[in-house]
Structure 1
Amino acid sequence: MISWRKHYKKGLIAIGLLLSTSASIYGQDGDPKNGEKLFKANCTACHALDKQVVGPALKGVVDRLKTEQGLDTDWLHKWIKDNKALRASGDKYANEVFEKFNKTEMQVFPNLTDKDIDDILAYTTNPPAEEPKTDAKATAANTVAAPQNNNTTSSIVIISLIAIAGLLVWILIKLRQLVKLGQSEDLAGLNETRVKSFSEIYAKYHYIGKGLLAILAILATYGIWNWIMWIGVYKGYKPEQPIYFSHKIHAGEQKIDCQLCHSSAKYGKVSEIPSMNVCMNCHRTISEYNADHYMEPGKDKAFYDGEIQKIYAATGWDPAKQQYTGKTQPVEWTRIHNMPDFVYFNHSQHVVAGEQAIINSFNKKNPDNKIDVVCKACHGKIDTMNVVQMANDFTMGWCIECHRTTEVDMNNGYNKEYFKNLHEKLKKQYPKDGGKITVDAIGGLECGKCHY
C-alpha cells in the first residue's frame, strides 16, 4: 500500500513537471487570441506565420528554438524587447540571426510587456482556428427558389407562348382575307385613281417635300457639328490595365493619401504614374490578398494574388529569397487622362495654390456630393473606383466654367500682399458681388495662360 502511494505521488510530480515544461516550451502561458491582435499590430510588417517575409516564419518558433538552439522563452523576450542590446552583449545566436537576414535590424519593442510577448508566442505556437468562411457558391446553391416558384414561372411562359401563337394565327387569317380582297373586282375603280409614281407625289406635295428636306439638312448639320465638337472627349473612358489596381481598395478602404503615390502632383506640372518601386514599399511584405470584404464581384483571392505576382515579376523580386533578381519587366500602362500638346496645365498650381479654393467652390456647387481632397474635383471620387475612369469632360468650356466660379482666397498672406492693388480695384469693379474675386478676374481666361 505504501509502495503504491509512493509511486502515485512520484507520478503526479512527473506529470506536473511535464505539463509545466510543456506550457513553458510551447508558449501556452499566453492568450493566443490577444496574441493574434498584437501580432497583427506589431509583427506583420516583417513576419508571417507560414512563410519568410523580411524576417523568418514564426509558426512554432518557441519549439524550434528549444529544439535547435536550446533557448527558452526568456531569450525571445530579450530579443523582442531590445534585439540591439542582445546583439551588443555578444549573444552568439542573436548575431547569427542578424547576419543570416542581411543585417536587417529588427525594430525594438520596449513597449510590450512580458504578458504581451507571452500572448504573441502563444499565438505563434497555437494560432486560433479561423472562423469558417461563407462559400458564396454554396450559399447561392442553398438559396435556389422553391419548386412552386419554378412551376409558376413555367406556367407564365407557356401561357405567353400560347397567346403569341394565337396572335400569329389571327394575323395569317387577316392577311389571307386581304389577298382575296385584292383579287376581287371591288378594287378596280380604286386602282385607276391611284398615284403610280414618286414624281407625281412630289409634284402634288412639293412644298411639304422641300420643307422636310430643309429640316433634314438642318438636323444633319447640327449632328455633324455636335459630333465634331465632341471629338477627343472621352468621359467614362476606363481601359483595362496590364496589372489590376483598385483605387477603392488602396485610397478608399486603406485610406492611402493620393500624394503618397502621385508625389509630383504637389510640386510638379505633371502627376506622374508611380514607379513599381512605389508599389513595393508595401507589397514587399504584402504578398497575398486576405481581405475578403474588399473583393470586387466576379473576382476571388486567386485573382488578386496573381496580380501581386505581376508586381514581383515587373520589379524582379523573389519573395522566397527576399531579394531582387535584377530581371525586370516594364509595365505598359494605358494612359487615361492626357492633355493635348497645345494645352498647358500645371498640377502644382491647382493642388497647392488653389487647393482650398477649389474644394470650397466645388462643395458650394455640390452640397450633396462634397469632396475632401482637391484631386476629386477633376478626377471624380477616385476612392470609390475599382477601375479608374475619366470622370469629367476636360473640355475648354469645362475649365473656363471652373475659372469663372472658383473664388480666389484673398485672405492668405501671399495673395493679400501680391494682389493688394488689384483687390481694391476689383472691389469697385464688382460691387454687387461684395468684392469677390474669381479666377477669371486675375487672368484665368487669358489665352496665354493655357495655350502657348
Structure 2
Amino acid sequence: MNSFLSRTSSWVLALFLALAGPALAQDAASTANVSKAGVAPGGAATASAGAAAAPAAAAPGSGGGDAAAIAAGDALFKNNCAQCHAVNDKVVGPALAGISKRRTISWLIPWVHNSSKVIASGDEYAVKLFNDNGKQQMPAFPQLSDKEITSIIAWVTSQEGGGGGAAATAATGGVTTGNAAAADGADASGGGKYMDVLLIVLVVVLIVLVVTLAIIANLMKDVLQGRKDLDGRDVEILEQRFNWAGLYQSSALRGIVGVVFALVLLYVGVQSVMAVGLTQGYQPTQPIAFSHKIHAGENNINCAYCHTSVYKGKSANIPSANICMNCHSQIKTESPEIKKIYRAIERKQPIQWVRVHNLPDLAYFNHSQHTQVGGIQCQTCHGPIQNMEVVYQYSALTMGWCINCHRETPLNTKGNAYYDNLVKLHDKSNSAVPFTVSSNGGTECSKCHY
C-alpha cells in the first residue's frame, strides 16, 4: 500500500511539473524580454525610455517643424486629407511624399484653399496634376488657415519614407507603435497568461487528486474485504451502500428542489420582462456590405467625413451616395457592392440602410451635445467601431446605462465660461466630488423627457 501511495504521489508531482513547467519558462522569458527592452516588470520605464526621449526631443530639427505643429498637422491630416491621400502611397489623389520640395508653401496654400481656382488660372503644374489624376477634382478647404496648412505639410514631411522616425513619435505624443507596441502588449499580458495557465494546472491537479483518492479508497476496501478478522460492526460499515431511494423520498430535499426551481423560474421571468425593447447586440444585414473595419480602421477615415453632422447635429446622419463617390468614382469601381451605389444614383433612389441604434421617441438625445461639447469619443457608446465588419449595437442604450454615465463622467468645463459659476458653487458645497453631468442636473427627468 505504501509503495502504491508513493508511486501515485510521484505521478501527480510529475504531472504538475510537466504542465506548470512551460508556463514558468514562458513567464521567465517574458520577464527577461521586458528587462532587455529597458522596462521594469512593474511597468516602470528604465534607461531605454530616456534614450527614446532624445530623438523625440530632436524632432523639430528633423521633421520640418516643431513637435506641436507636427502633432496639429497629424490631426488635421486625418480629419481632412486621409480620405484621399497617403504620404507614401497613391490613394484617390497622389502620394504626398516630397510635396514640400516640389512646391513652395506659397503655392500649396492657395491650392488647398481652392484647387479649382489655381487650375483655372492656367498654372502649368496644377493643370498637369489635374490631368494626371483622371481630372478628379480636389475638394476646397477654405476653412483651413495658412498656419494649419503649414502644420499639415510639416507632418507630411516628418512621415516621408514610410518611417516618421523621431518626428512621428513626437507627433503622437510619444506613443510607440508597430512591432514595439506589440512587444510591449505581449510583455504586459505575460503575467495574465501565466495566471490562466496556473489556474488550469491547479484544476487539473485537483481532479487528479480526487481520482487518486477514489482509487485508493477502492483499493483499501478490496484489502479490507479480504480480511477475516473483522467483527460484525466493521463488516456492516464496509458493506453499507448509499440509500438513493431514501434521499429521493426525502420531503426536505423535495422542498429545497421546489424552492430552487421556483426561484429560477422567477429570475428568468423577470429577466425576460426587463429585456423587452432592448436590442443590445442587434446586427442587421445591410443592403450594401459596408465594412467599418476597412474604412474607419485600416484606412483611418475620420467618422465626421461620412457622418457630416456628428459634431453639429442632433443626430449623426447616414452618408449620402455622393460621399461614397468621392472615393469610389476611382477606387474599386468594378466591385459588385460598389455597383449597387452606382445603381442607386442612376435611379435617383436613396440606399435603404437598416437603422442599428434607435432610441425611443419619449427620450430626447442630442448627438452634438455629447460629441462637440462633452468631447465623448465615438467608441464610448458605439464600441470598437473601427474593428467591425458589420456594425452592431454595442451598448445597452437603456435609461440606467445613460444615468450611470451621467453620474460617473466628469464635465470638461475648461475654457467654457458657462460653467464657471456652477463649478464654484459645486466646489464650495462639495469639493471632494468631481463636477459631473449629474452635478449639473444631468439626471433630472426633464433633461431627457419633456
TM-score normalised to structure 2 length: 0.45
Larger RCO (CA under 8 A, 6+ residues apart): 2
TM-score in terms of structure 1 length:
0.45
**Structure exhibiting the larger radius of gyration computed from Cα positions:** 1
